Structure 1
Amino acid sequence: MTNASATAQISLDDVAVLIPAYNGQADVELTLASFDESAPIHVLIVDDGSTPPIVAPSIGNMRIDVLRMPQNGGIERALQTGIDALAQRGFRYAARIDAGDRSVPQRLARQRVFMELHPHVAGLGMWTQVVTRAGKPLFMLTPPAEPNAIRRLRFFRSCLAHPSMMLRIEAVRTVGNYRAAYRSAEDLDLFVRLMERYDCANLPELGLYYELNEGGISATKRRRQITSTLRLQLRYFNVANLYDWLGLAKNLLHLVLPYRTLQRIKRSLLAPRAGH
C-alpha cells in the first residue's frame, strides 16, 4: 500500500486542529480553508476575547467549534484552555496552527500515522515554508528529524515549528500544559518539558506555509520573547553541550540586533540560490 493510499484511509476522529485567535476573522477562514484531508476534520477555535467575536466559518468536511474566552488573556492561556477543552472532549491529538498560516494536503493524516507508530513521541513537527503575507516564498525551515538531534540543538535553532506541531494531549497535560511562566516563548517552554519525559520529532517533509507577519509575536513582543528564551536556556543549561553555549551567545546577539536586520540575515542565509 502506498503512503498516499494509507493516509487516505486514516480516521481523524481523535485529532482536533487547535487554533487560537484574537480578531483576524479573515485569517482564520484562510487557514481553515487550506486543510485538505480525506477524513472529516475537527477544529477548536479559541477566541481570545476578539471584538467582534470570531465566527465559525462554514467549510465542507469540517466540524468547527468556537470556545470564547471572557477577555483577552494572551496566547498562553488560550492554548492551555484549548488543550484542557480537547481533553475533556476525548481527543488524543491536538494539531496546532495559527491564523494566517496554511496547511499542506494530508498533513493531519501523515502526522497521525507517525504518532500511532511512535507512542513515545509527544510532539511531531514538519518542515515549514516561510512566506510573505502575499504568499511569496522567502525561505525553508528544515530542522532535524531525530529526537536526539532536536534535544541537542533545542536552544541553538528553532527545531520545532509550533504551528506545524501535532501534540499528544495526555503528554502535554502530564508535563503541566502550556503556561505563562515564559511569556511569548510558551512553545519552547512546553517542548523542553516534553523532552524531559518523551521524544519530539519532525517529519522531514513540507507540512506548513508559515506567514511571516511583521505584526506577529516575534516582531511586536520580540524583547519579551528573547528574555523568556534566555531564562529557559539558563534554567535547562547543559554545560557539556556545545550547542547550549552557542545558543546562549546567539540569543544575546538577538537581544542587541534590530529585528529587521536579523530577518535580512536569515533570508540571505536560507533563501534558495540560483542553480541549486
Structure 2
Amino acid sequence: MNDLSDVTVLMPAFNSQAEVERTLASFGETSTVDVLIVDDGSTPPIAAPVIEGMRIDILRMPRNGGIERALEAGVAALAARGVRYAARIDAGDLATPGRLAKQRAYLDAHPRVAVLGMWTHVVSTSGAPLFDLTPPAEPAAIRRMMLARTCFTHPSLMLRVDAVIDAGNYRAQYRAAEDLDLILRLLQRHDGANLPEFGLFYELNESGISATKRRAQVISTLRLQLRHLRVSNPLDWIGVTKSIAHLVLPYRALRGLKARFLKSTSSA
C-alpha cells in the first residue's frame, strides 16, 4: 500500500455540497486519504460526506472571503498539523485513480521540487470533453515558459507545505491569480514540475473564477508578469502581449480559439 499519511487534500468550497461529494468520491487510492475542506462561509454550511477510505475535516471561515483567504487559512491549518504535502482540488473537478500516490512518490524522489502538477482533461459541466492541457513537465522548461503560458492547472497541484509557508503562503494581493502569485514565489527558491500523465478532469464552469472574475484575473496576471519580467526572455514578452489581448477580446471568443488550438495541436 502507498502510505499517504503525510498528504492532505485541500479543497475550498462555497455553497457546493453536491460538487464536494462528487469530487471527493472520485479519488481512488490504496490507502486512507485525509481531506481538509475549507468552507468559505457557505449557507447552509458544507457537511462532511461519509466516504469509505477518507478522513474528512472541515475548517469553517467566519464569512465568505474568497478563495485566496480560504486557501491561506487552509495551508496555515495544515502547517500547524505538521502535514507535509497539500494536494489541491476544487469542488466539481475529478481526480484520476492513484493521483495522490504518484505525486507523493515524485516529490519524495525530487526534493528540489516544491510544486507538482499533472496534465488535465478539460470538460464541460456535463462531463463532455473539450480539450486537454499538457504543459511542459521539466523544471527548466517550466521556468523558461512560466510567464508565456499556463504551466500548471491549479487543482492538479501537490505542494510542499513548508515551502508554501516559507514563500509567504497564498495571499489576496493578486485577486483571482493567487495560484500564479504563489508559484512564482516558490520558483524563486525551488523547482516546479508536471507529471506527464493525466491526473485531473477540470470542469470548465461559466460561473467559475475564470469567467466571473476574468478581468480581475487578467489584470492580476499582467501585474505579476510585469513584476517578474525577464527582459531578455522573449517568452515573457509573449505572455504580456497575451494578457493585454485578454483584456481586449471577449472571454467566449478567446475560449473558443484556445479550444480549437489545443484540439489541433493534440491531434497533430
Alignment of 1:119-198 (within 5 A): 119-198=111-190
Amino acid at match of 2:84: R
Amino acid at match of 1:201: A
Report whether the alignment pairs 1:116 with 2:108. Answer: yes
Q: Secondary structure at the match of 1:125?
A: strand
Q: 2:43 aligns with which of 42, 51, 62?
A: 51
Q: 2:209 aligns with which of 205, 209, 217?
A: 217
How far did residue 272 of structure 1 move?
A: 5.8
Paired position in structure 2 for 1:86: 78
Paired position in structure 2 for 1:36: 28
Q: Secondary structure at the match of 2:152?
A: coil
How far did residue 264 of structure 1 move?
A: 0.6
Amino acid at match of 1:51: T
**TM-score, structure 2 length as denominator?**
0.98
Q: 1:106 aligns with which of 92, 98, 110?
A: 98
How far did residue 270 of structure 1 move?
A: 1.2
Structure 1 unaligned segments of length 5 or more: list them.
Answer: 1-8
User: 2:94, 2:155 → 1: CA distance?
Assistant: 9
Contact 1:139–1:272, Cα closer than 8 Å, also in 2:
no
Alpha carbons of structure 1 residues 135 and 174: separation in structure 2 relative to 1, 3 Å: same
Amino acid at match of 2:14: Y
Q: Secondary structure at the match of 1:189?
A: helix
How far did residue 222 of structure 1 move?
A: 0.3
User: 1:240, 1:28 → 2: CA distance?
Assistant: 44
Amino acid at match of 2:134: T
User: 2:209, 2:267 → 1: CA distance?
Assistant: 35
How far did residue 148 of structure 1 move?
A: 1.2
Q: Secondary structure at the match of 2:118?
A: strand
Paired position in structure 2 for 1:252: 244
Q: Report how many aligned residue pairs link the two structures.
A: 268
How far did residue 87 of structure 1 move?
A: 1.0
Paired position in structure 2 for 1:15: 7
How far did residue 207 of structure 1 move?
A: 0.3
Q: 1:269 aligns with which of 251, 254, 261?
A: 261
Alignment RMSD: 1.2
Q: Secondary structure at the match of 1:196?
A: coil
Paired position in structure 1 for 2:57: 65
Amino acid at match of 2:251: Y
Paired position in structure 1 for 2:226: 234
User: 1:274, 1:152 → 2: CA distance?
Assistant: 22
Q: Secondary structure at the match of 2:226?
A: helix
How far did residue 267 of structure 1 move?
A: 1.2
How far did residue 98 of structure 1 move?
A: 0.3
Structure 2 unaligned segments of length 5 or more: list them.
Answer: none
How far did residue 271 of structure 1 move?
A: 2.1
How far did residue 275 of structure 1 move?
A: 7.2
User: 1:155, 1:275 → 2: CA distance?
Assistant: 25
Alpha carbons of structure 1 residues 273 and 233: separation in structure 2 relative to 1, 3 Å: closer
How far did residue 152 of structure 1 move?
A: 1.0
Amino acid at match of 2:19: D
Alpha carbons of structure 1 residues 274 and 38: separation in structure 2 relative to 1, 3 Å: closer
User: 2:80, 2:44 → 1: CA distance?
Assistant: 27
